[in-house]
Copies of this chain bind each other. A is one copy, B any other.
């Protein structure tokens, strides 16, 4: 990492390996969300099962990266930027693992929905749209982490408001839907939980971007406004 004092090539390689593993975990989680939403829309039960089964791969990566971080903390006793990188990774993988859980939940809801009469199902356009934004946020957070790119991180924090608004819009739509035909209530709730899972994914991506700002600037931005973060980034 730029600006740090360590000279050991071996140490650099270890940090680089951890960073690469985080990006790999991020890629896996991204694919899990994409496939979960795809399976929901297509009704492909085999794909739903695959997403559910593959969650253990996400978990295994979390445990592995966590152990690498502990090893580095013990053996390398990193300071300043390197230490912030490690604590950022420890936090980031917790959020990635929870995004993985949300993907699994979406696949489970998709399974419940696939057993029902498709006749009463509302269209999934809105769900697809919200998940596209959440996926974009996740991708950008990983990019910001990889390239220490603060302006991308700030964009993600801003985008979170968009996902929240999508969620509220889906909820309003479902309420109308349920009121018009109370037989759709139970199905609509399952779709609502899918929307909620997507909203959570946005929250986790936002957390990840906030950690990036912290890693680079050494300033905690988790509990400040979007405007303050944007000012911080421009400084």
B-binding residues in A (CB < 8 A): 56, 59-60, 62-63, 66-67, 69-70, 73-74, 77, 79-80, 83-84, 87, 90-91, 94, 171, 175, 178-179, 182-183, 185-186, 189, 192, 196, 220, 222-223
Complex Cα gap A189–B193 (Å): 11
Contact partner, A192, options B63, B94, B189, Cβ 8 Å = B189
Q: How far is the CB of A130 from chain B (nearest CB, A)?
A: 17
Whether A175 contacts B185 by the Cβ 8 Å rule is yes
B contact residues around A91 at 8 Å (CB): 90, 94
Question: Is the Cβ of B94 less than 8 Å from the Cβ of A83?
Answer: no
A49 to chain B, nearest CB (A): 19
Q: Give chain B residues whose Cβ lies under 8 Å from the Cβ of A63.
A: 220, 222-223
With A83-B70, A87-B90 known as contacts, the answer to whether A185 contacts B196 (CB < 8 A) is no
Interchain CB contact under 8 A, A59 and B175:
no
Contact across chains for A223 and B66 when beta carbons are under 8 A apart: no
What separation, in Å, do the CA atoms of A60 and B223 have in the docked complex?
8
C-alpha gap A223/B83 in the complex (Å):
26
Name the one of B66, B90, B185, B223 contacting A220, with C-beta atoms under 8 angstroms. B66
CB nearest neighbor in B for A56 = B223
User: Which one of B90, B182, B220 lies within 8 Å of A178 (CB-CB)?
Assistant: B182
Asked if A83 meets B73 with Cβ closer than 8 Å, knowing A178-B178, A222-B63, A223-B63, the reply is yes
Q: Which residue of B lies closest to A55 (CB)?
A: B223
In the assembled complex, the Cα of A83 lies from the Cα of B66 at a distance in Å of 13
Kindly state the separation between the CA atoms of A185 and B183 in the bound complex, as whole angstroms. Answer: 12
